[in-house]
Amino acid sequence: MQYETVIGLEVHAQLLTGTKMFCGCSTRFGSGPNTQTCPICIGMPGVLPVMNKKAVEYVIRTGIAVDCRISSYSRFARKNYFYPDLPKGYQISQYELPLCEGGFVEIPDSGSTKKIGLTRIHLEEDAGKNIHGGANLSFVDLNRTGVPLMEIVSEPDIRTPKQAMEFMKKIRTILRYINVCDGNMEQGSLRCDANVSVRPVGQREFGTKTEMKNMNSFKFVEKALDYEIKRQIKMLADGGKIVQETRLWNAERGITESMRSKEEAHDYRYFPEPDLAPVEVEASWIEKIKADINELQDVKKARFISQFGLPEHDAELLTSERSVAEWFEQAVSLGGNPKNVSNWMMGDLMRLLNEENIPIQNCPLKPAHLVDLLKLIEDGTINRNQAKSVFVEIYKRGKVIQAAKGKMNLPALKIEVYSEVKVIDIVKEKGLAQISDESEIEAAINDILEKNPGEVERFKAGEAKLMGFFVGQAMKATKGKANPKIVNELLRKKLG
């Protein structure tokens, strides 16, 4: 029997607010355990939550970016359950009346695009972290408790693990674009759960679903879903039944494992949060957020094609991250030829950055460096190969400067290291500048022609391919610095 897969995703995104959702504690990642806590986020007796308006704004911004209906009246609710990382014994979340409803995103799907509908987007607070130590001890770190978390729930429109991964990627790109989430899946600032079921092709009603958790990378999303779908199909094919349950992805073993069954499922006893007034979103506020929103990728990509004449492939890559697009536009605004800038970025620049996993905003080579370099190639001062070695050298020096800036207090460092590295200095230092002085090149050529009379004879007799030999000899004589264009011109004139 042929089966069809039905997947719905719940994406959790930590919002990039500086402070927590209901108190003034910092949201910074990686601080010492329980150093970013206060009586409010620890859930001490008698404390009350006060809404971080920025968090609400970020959810609305997201809602606008994915075409949701923004609710004019929205309410918070308590989700009740006991767990040590949940200090109040309830999570403040949304149940009825979320901030955003409806909407969709478009994902690439076998050469075309597919629309994935969204059910809702709501705002809630994150829980802390339980850390299980040795000797039968567990610890609780409440730094993450109360960090604003946005939940984006998709419709069950996803049909393959690949689509699920594309959906996650798209959501990540959008969230990063509008600057509401850093999208870091390893640190857990972007996470996802999936509801998965299979059904015989043609059947209308959904099969029994399982809920998948702990898929903390794009790769794992695809792998875990792939495994789970095969497991379900095999189960049905063997005459078995799917049990409604929550399953965890075990990345080490590459399998999904049962976490809790439906019978063990929590009754969260949702009810409206009496400590918070309902949120009333005025149309003027939505308009303001709309006006502030950054250009989304699809729009930017179209603009890159039309404004800069870039091929679609280039535009796609350059707009995949807002910071990459910004780097590109900066270089172009400094006078770089768009296609040339694009070629260098997608080639040497990305290779260097990817090798060391450096985000482009920290790239030691700046757009101005690339533009200077391109100019030197254009005016013939250096050739492409030389440019590449200059490029790498600037990158390396830039890194030294960055490191030095980070340790400014070290007196041993030479002062030159602090000044910005300049393209022209490197070119001079390496002695790379091409020889464009005709008389110098002419002297070298004359010398070559004199020493190789036989080859001159054969060339004149029609052996045209010997031109390469002469050029090679000229380059050799000038240690590769001769401007090849001038070499060619002079050779043609002389052998003419």
Partner 1 sequence: MALHKLTISEASAAIEKGEISPVELANALFDRIDAVEKKIGAYVTITMEHAIGQAKEAGNRVRNGEKGKLLGIPMAIKDNMCTEGIKTTCSSNILGNFIPPYESTVTQELKERGYVLTGKTNLDEFAMGSSTENSAFGYTKNPWDTARVPGGSSGGSAAAVAADECIAAIGSDTGGSIRQPASFCGVVGMKPTYGRVSRYGLVAFASSLDQIGPITKTVEDSAILMNIISGNDPYDSTSAPAAIPDFTSVLGKEIKGLKIGIPKEYFIEGIDAEVGEHVKNAVKQLESLGAVPVDISLPHTGYAVATYYILATSEASSNLARYDGVKYGFRAEGKDLLDTYMKTRAKGFGDEVKRRIILGTYALSSGYYDAYYKKAQQVRTLIKQDFEKAFETVDVIVTPTAPTPAFRAGEKTADPLQMYLSDILTISVNLAGMPAISIPCGFTSGSLPVGLQIVGKHFDEEAVFKTAYAYEQSTDWHKRKPKL
Smallest separation, CB 115 to partner 1 (Å): 33
Does position 89 interact with partner 1 (CB under 8 A)? The reply is: yes
Taking the least distance from each CB to partner 1, the nearer of 266 and 313 is: 266
Closer residue to partner 1, CB minimum distance, 24 or 347: 24
Name the one range near partner 1 by CB under 8 A: 78-86, 248-256, 282-290, 319-327: 78-86
Residue with tokens 């002389």: 494
Nearer Cβ to partner 1, position 82 or 202? 82
Instruction: Report how far residue 180's alpha carbon sits from residue 173's, in angstroms, rounded to the nearest whole number.
Output: 11
By beta-carbon proximity to partner 1, the closer residue of 138 and 203 is: 138
Judged by CB under 8 A, the stretch of 44-52, 66-74, 191-199, 469-477 that binds partner 1 is 44-52
Contact flag: residue 311 with partner 1 (CB under 8 A): no
Backbone dihedral angles phi then psi of residue 149, each to the nearest 5 degrees: -130, 135
Residue 68 structure tokens: 């949701």
Reference 296, options 130, 67, 471, 114; nearest CA is: 67
Type of residue numbered 216? N
Question: Is the Cα dihedral 152, 106, 338, 370 positive or negative?
Answer: positive
Torsion of CA 445, 447, 451, 453, to 10 degrees: 50
Query: CA nearest 103: which of 64, 69, 68?
Result: 68
Please report whether residue 139 would count as binding partner 1 according to CB under 8 A. Answer: no
Distance CA 290, CA 9 (A): 26
Which one, 49 or 103, has the nearer CB to partner 1?
49
Whether the CB-CB separation of 261 and 225 falls below 8 Å is answered with no
Q: Does 135 engage in binding with partner 1 (CB under 8 A)?
A: no
The pair of three-digit structure tokens given for residue 256, joined into one six-digit string: 């999904």
Cβ 324 vs Cβ 358: under 8 Å: no
Round to whole Å and give the CA distance between 342 and 339.
5
Among 1, 2, 30, 48, binds partner 1 (CB under 8 A): 48
Q: Which range of residues in 67-75, 80-88, 115-123, 236-244 is near partner 1 by CB under 8 A?
A: 80-88
Tell me how far apart the alpha carbons of residues 214 and 253 are, in angstroms, rounded to a whole number: 13
Contact between 88 and partner 1 (CB under 8 A)? yes
- Gap between the Cα atoms of 357 and 30, Å rounded: 19
DSSP E strand boundaries for 220-288:
245-250, 255-261, 271-272, 279-280
Q: How far is CA 95 from the centre of its chain?
A: 31
Query: By CB under 8 A, which span of 88-96, 246-254, 425-433, 458-466 interacts with partner 1?
Result: 88-96
In the complex with partner 1, the residue whose CB is nearer, 76 or 304, is 76
Under the binding rule (CB under 8 A), the answer on residue 144 touching partner 1 is: no
Please choose, out of 173-181, 272-280, 339-347, 433-441, the segment that lies near partner 1 by the rule CB under 8 A.
272-280
Q: Which of 41, 56, 59, 90 binds partner 1 (CB under 8 A)?
A: 90
Given 16, 25, 66, 87, the residue binding partner 1 (CB under 8 A): 87
**Among 78, 300, 301, 397, interactor with partner 1 by CB under 8 A:** 78
Residue from the set 49, 148, 207, 336 that interacts with partner 1 by CB under 8 A: 49
Residues near partner 1 (CB under 8 A) are 39, 42-51, 78, 80, 82, 84, 87-90, 140, 267, 269-271, 274-277
